[in-house]
Amino acid sequence: MSGAKPEKSRARQGKAVCALLLATSMLALLRPAPLHAQETELRGEVSESAILSDQQRKVRQLAMASQGQQPPAAQDNSPPRTYLPASAGAVPDNTDPNDATATGSVFDPPAATDDSSADNATPPKPRRRPSAAAQKAAGQDKDKTAATSKTKKKKTTAKATDPTTTGSAATADDAGDTASDQDNANRRALTLDSVDRQKLDAGAERTAAIEGQKKKAEDDPFAAPGVKWGSFVIRPTIEQGLTATTNGDSSSAGTSALLSETALRFSAVSDWRENSASIDGYGLFRETLSGYQVHNAQGRIEGQLNVDLDNELRAIAKLGYEAVPESASSPDAIAGVSTQPLRQTIDGSLGLEKAVGKMQYTLTGAVSHDFYGDAKLSDGTSLSQKDQDNTLYTATLRTGYEISPALTPFTEIELGRRIYDQRVDNEGFERSSTRLGARAGVQLDMGEKLSGEFSAGWLREAIDDKNLEPISGATVNADLKWSPERGTTIGLTGKTTVETTTTAGESGDILYSGRLTGERVIRANLTANAALGLDWRDYVGIDGHDQILSAEAGLTWWLNRYAGLTTRVRTEKLTSNLPGRDYTANSIYLGVKVQR
């Protein structure tokens, strides 16, 4: 009997514990309390060990409660850490189960209270999920914190390896790291609009749009853009202005006049992948508005085709047409006429270039035909100039040796024949002639700095009529461009020309022409230009010569890429030892230039 009593006592105690557990569970289920997990924002990851520890703590608390005992309070003499939220409504992250100030597990229900009105209390307002901007800002802060920690760890390691480093310095660094980590821990507490409310950094550089990226500056922002036509790019230009001059036609009898001057120019360049072609032309029209009567029209068009053949062989073809009235200062000018005869020229050439190592060979054949119109006399009649019509055939062989890509000396031999349409002219002379010439020079190619060629030699044209002296003399030809600095271009051109005549007893003359030009880009839309000229004409068969000096200066101011204002002043003076040829002409021009 004594053994059965303890067993009954233990059985009653077990039933009492089960009843107490069942009653506690029913009370928790019937109590209308919101889920605590929905009110609490989970911060970070929860480890399995923390969950197990939390469950064990609950079991201990229930067991002690069933026995009527109070769970022991954790002894902690250190003052509780004060939580300083970064924004309103933040919750501290204290999950230590042994801490008296702990809020308990995130799975615990709210603590019971004796206040009867607690059941009807409004549950805490659920916290909103941080916005994408806030999450991004928090991630950036986390990255910065990690980088700072790595840097400080490197510094600490360096100090530890340095024998001169003291222990106090290391302790100070550790304390600073701990404080920094505590400060950065609170940066997670961000409100929805905390990032949007941050002040803008006035010194921050804004990212420009794709359309606003800097573009490469053009070499000439006021150059004609051109018009696309098939496989060519055409750049037309028209210039209209007024010229006030002291000598309308640059003759010994010319007087002052106000002229309307119109100039048309155009250029067309191909954009082919291989080979190339270009066309250039101009037209100049001058009409008198008041004063000395002048009616002048002239123009020229010329095309060039470059074709690369096999085996370092290149072909160059040219074709041109020109119409120019005979100049009043020409030796063949006719006195007492209202209109000088019109001289028309058709010329063409075909050249082959061949490179063999450093040797360069060029063979060129050319044909030029001049034919003259009738001169209109003051009395209304006309005078034929058909006896001046002639054709010149030439063949030129050039041989050069390339010392360097920038320097190529060369020699040149020219053979030709001039044939007049009338074998015997109106004065009874046979004007046809045979031509022979030789030149030596150098070709320069230093890019934009210096380019072109210069040559000197001798030329002789023997006339078939034995009563006329051959036209012979030294020749000088040049075409050089020099740029001492960006925006400045100096040019030098020289040419030697044989001028024929049908004047009785005269063979003709040799004309030497030289021009020194300069152009300066003062501003992108303002260009200045100047020119100096010297012509020397040496007559054959008579003791005569002409000297022509000229100077010119001008400005072009572009209003935009398509229109500009241009002006120039010019002076020209001819001095001759032959009677009736001297003259002086001064002029000023002002006009508008339009290009496309």
**Among residues of the chain, what percentage have pLDDT more than 90?**
51
- Asked whether residue 307 falls in the same domain as residue 444, the answer is yes
Same structural domain, 325 and 458: yes
Range of the domain at 91: 4-72+85-110
SS3 of 366-412: the string is: EEEEEEECCEEECCCCEECCHHHCEEEEEEEEEEEECCECCEEEEEE
Among 275, 223, 249, 310, CA closest to 595: 223
* pLDDT tens digits along 300-320: 999 999 999 987 899 999 999
Nearest to 490 by CA among 499, 479, 498, 474: 479
Looking at residue 101, what is its pLDDT?
Answer: 43
Confidence tier at 364 by pLDDT (50, 70, 90): very high
Q: With contact defined as beta carbons under 8 Å apart, do 392 and 415 qualify?
A: no
Q: Are residues 571 and 442 in the same domain?
A: yes
| DSSP codes, 218-254 | PS-TTS---EEETTEEEEEEEEEEEEEES-TTSSTT-
Q: What is the token pair recorded at 375?
A: 């001169």
User: What is the Cα–Cα distance from 529 to 569, expressed in whole angstroms?
Assistant: 11
pLDDT of residue 197: 59
Q: What is the pLDDT of residue 210?
A: 57
Pair 290, 420 in one domain:
yes
Helix (H) or strand (E) holding 209: none
Residue 472 CB contacts under 8 Å (≥ 6 apart), including other chains: 458, 459, 460, 461, 540
Tokens, residue 9: 């006592």
Domain membership of residue 159 (yes or no) is no
Structural domain contains residue 189: no
**Calpha distance 122→113 (Å, rounded):** 14
In a domain, 148, yes or no: no
Residue 131 lies in a domain: no
Burial 492-524 (b: 16+ CB within 10 A, else e): ebbebebebbbbeebbbbbbbbebebebeeeee
- The pLDDT, as a whole number, for residue 52 is 74
Once rounded to an integer, what is the mean pLDDT over residues 178-200?
51
Beta bridge partners of 507: none
Query: What 3-state DSSP class applies to 331?
Result: coil
Determine the 3-state secondary structure of 177 from DSSP. helix
Give residue 391's pLDDT: 97
Together in a domain, 438 and 295: yes
Of the candidates 552, 469, 550, 548, the one whose C-alpha atom is nearest the C-alpha of residue 512 is: 548
| Comparison of pLDDT for 533 and 448, the residue scoring more | 533
* pLDDT at position 263: 97
Give the pLDDT confidence score for residue 112 in this predicted structure.
46
| Tens-place pLDDT, residues 147-156 | 555 454 444 4
The CATH number of residue 236's host domain is 2.40.160
The residue-averaged pLDDT of 8-12 equals 65
Roughly what angle, to the nearest 10 degrees, separates helices 4-30 and 48-66?
120
In sequence order, the β-bridge partners of residue 417 are: 393, 434
Distances (CA, A) of 373 to 42, 267, 329, 347, 427: 106, 28, 18, 18, 19
Residue 234, token pair as written in the block: 């055409």
- Cβ burial of 539 (10 Å; 0-12, 13-18, 19+) is buried
Could you say which DSSP state residue 128 is in?
A: P
CA–CA distance, 534 with 573 (Å, rounded to integer): 10
Q: Domain for residue 194, yes or no? A: no
Find the Cα–Cα–Cα–Cα dihedral 494, 495, 501, 504, rounded to 10°: 60
Q: How many domains does the chain have?
A: 2
Confidence of residue 178 (pLDDT cuts 50, 70, 90): very low
H helix or E strand, kind and range, residue 188: none
Tokens of 461: 């044209």
State how far the Cα of 429 lies from the Cα of 432, in Å rounded to an integer. Answer: 9
* pTM for this entry: 0.64
Q: What is the pLDDT of residue 393?
A: 98
Q: Does some domain include residue 79? A: no
67 has pLDDT over 90: no
Q: Is residue 190 part of a domain?
A: no
**DSSP state letters, 81-122:** PPP--SSTT-------TT-TT----TTSPPPP-S-GGGTTSP
Give Cα 92 distance to the centre of its chain: 60
Distance (Å) of CA 125 to CA 33, 128, 401, 486 = 14, 9, 95, 74
pLDDT at residue 232 tops 60: yes
CA atoms of 442 and 457, how far apart (whole Å): 12
Whether 211 is in a domain gets the answer no
Contact 435, 459 (CB under 8 A): yes
pLDDT of residue 312: 84
Please tell me which residue, 38 or 282, carries the higher pLDDT value. 282
| Residues 416 and 541 reside in one and the same domain | yes
Count of positions (residues) in the chain: 596
